[in-house]
Structure 1
Amino acid sequence: MTPTARLFSRLKTGRLGAGWMVVASLLFGLMGVFVKLGAAHFTSIELVFYRTVLGMVSIGAVVWLRGQSLATAHFAYHFKRSAFGYLSLLMYFYTITQLPLATAVTLNYTSPMFLAGLSAWWLKERLGHRVLLSLGLGFMGVVLLLKPTFSADAWLAGLLGLFSGLFAGLAYLHVRELGRLGEPEWRVVFYFTLISTLGGLGLVLWHTPSPITWDNGWILLGLGTTATLAQLAMTRAYHDGNKFVVANLAYLTVVFSSVLGALLWGDVLPLEGYLAMGLIIVSGILASRR
């Protein structure tokens, strides 16, 4: 059997293992495309709201069909994880609407770097030489990547993109704690979508919501579908594949986003921009090996 035939066979039977992260990365890249397209019709707050609504309904339906319990003794952890995750998503979506897609995605993917630093500060974990190297490389990458934004009007978007990585790191820190407390992943994801949807509803209704029409409804459908399928594929990847391999493959989202941004909007970064992206990717890979 040829390699291509084996690949299609594994796709047909769902036996992709860590390869599911490749599927998830492509879907996350496409999600970013829909966010960027949606910016012409909706605010970032609205885009986040519609993304979490579909996720909540999809996951809630699966939970209901399986007869699983949503009862938890750790709601405070769920709330903090969801709050940090929601803030990260708001900043991330705003950054996507303002900066080249690859730049916005890369800034959000600084989260492993922040997670390593937060683990040392919050959980008193010891930082080894590899992690210290990753933090140094990540810092250099961030400086290079943000350099153009501070010489233009995009400095706010650049900072918010970086903060989206910080808040994502805080969210992942609480996900780790919930895992240690025995909370299943599906319950963590459901409470994130539920709390984010309720919080987002209040923000959306604060002003008159943008109208949904035949011309823009497909964008919301694409956003919700790609985000939900990406989440499912990522969960499957961590369930079936080697976690270190999966964590490394997650950075393919940056690659896919670079290609999609170049094809759809002509977003070609200067050489130092791609060097910065490389440094941040290496930083994340090293940090994930703690």
Structure 2
Amino acid sequence: MRTGNAHALSLGAGWMVVASAMFALMGVCVKSGAATFSPVALVFWRTSLGVVSVGAAALWRRDAFATPWMRYHMQRGLIGFVSLLLSFYAMAHLPLSTAVTLTYTSPIFLAALSVVLLGETLSRRGVTGILLGFAGVLLLLRPTFAADAWPASLAGLLSGALAGWSYLHVRELGRRGEAEWRVVFYFALLSSVGSAVIMACGFAPWRTPDLASLPVLAGVGATATLGQLAMTRAYKVGNKLLAANLAYLTVVFAALLGWGLWDDALDAGKVMSMTLIVISGIFASRR
């Protein structure tokens, strides 16, 4: 039994490392594609592949798309869509490590919103996590405000807040026994339709992909889809708490990739703020 548990832990941990690497690479693709495509267009390409792949797999298995919880899907999808738009905007205008770290404040906001909206109580560890998280955010944002990058910084922070809110709906869908693939599918579908409507109405430009841009767009969709699948697998076969903690490797991978590809600075203040946010997220998730 112990050998089996150890194998499950290592397998789950391995899948979460893969997921974290995929999400960090997705950030690289988004930042690279932002020179040519708007954040709205990048969201469209990121989610369209998810609609096709998840939908095709469901059709192959002959799963039912109908669900009695469509209202929750719509709410989660709308909130998640806006969060995704804001995170892509932040990635386009901020150092990759800063943008990714801000979006990973979602567990802090999830803990806070659970108190405000659901009336849950926080342990001392949860309160400590929230306080550490906001201290880390203030430390991380200080240089961006000085460099007049505050719109993108606020977009990244708001993305984290909305992601935390959307996770409340995901948790509610899980409690009601909703299939995981439908949660992923309807979020991707609403985001694809929403971004297509925004571009069709002229609020964001549409650019037809060419051969030079196809690898980046394919990379956005592929890394996001593979990351989602690997993360789902990690939570299914491994320890959920360990998987949640290892998810923060995305921040580490993003910092290293940003430093290697764009020479993003990793000074002591930035490393300290990122560390505080990661620790706070771990504390908040254990509330």
Q: Does 1:184 align with 2:187?
A: no
1:270 is displaced (CA, Å) by 2.4
Residue 192 of structure 2 corresponds to residue 200 of structure 1: no
2:222 maps to what in 1?
Answer: 225
Percent of aligned positions with the same letter in both sequences? 56
Q: Deviations over 1:104-133 (max 9, x none)?
A: 000000000000000011111111100000
| 1:104-163 deviation per Cα after TM superposition (whole angstroms, max 9, x unaligned) | 000000000000000011111111100000011001000000001111221000001000
Which SS does the other structure have where 2:167 is aligned?
Answer: helix
Which residue in 2 is equivalent to 1:55? 50
TM (normalized to structure 1)? 0.94
Could you state the TM-score of these two structures normalised by the residue count of structure 2?
Answer: 0.95
| Residues 1:156 and 2:151 are matched in the alignment | yes
Look up the match of 2:59: 64
Give the conservation status (yes or no) of the 8 Å contact 1:19–1:241.
no
Matching of residue 251 in structure 1 with residue 279 in structure 2: no
CA contact (8 A) 1:105 1:254 kept: yes
Q: Which residue of 2 aligns with 1:96?
A: 91
C-alpha separation in 2, matches of 1:151 and 1:270: 16
Q: Which runs of 5+ in 1 are unaligned?
A: 1-9
SS where residue 264 of structure 2 aligns? Answer: coil
CA RMSD for the aligned pairs? 1.1
1:162-184 deviation digits (Å, cap 9, x = unpaired): 00000000110100011111111
Task: Write the distance in 2 (CA, Å) between the matches of 1:43 and 1:250.
Answer: 27
Please state if 1:271 is matched with 2:264: no
Q: State the SS of the aligned residue for 1:209.
A: coil
Deviations 1:195-217 (A, max 9, x none): 11111110122235112111111
Q: How many residues align?
A: 277
For 2:188 and 2:216, the matched residues in 1 are separated by 19
Choose which of 233, 238, 242 in structure 1 pairs with 2:239.
242
Q: How many Å separate the matches in 1 of 2:88 and 2:72? A: 24
Query: Deviation digits for residues 1-47 of structure 1, max 9, x if unmatched?
Result: xxxxxxxxx9xxxx822320000000000000000110111000000
> 1:228-271: per-residue Cα shift (whole Å, max 9, x none)?
10000000000001000000000000000011001100001321
Conservation of the 8 A alpha-carbon contact between 1:92 and 1:104: yes
Query: Match for 1:187: what amino acid?
Result: R
Matches within 5 A, 1:80-95: 80-95=75-90
Alignment partners' CA distance in 2, 1:123 and 1:259: 38
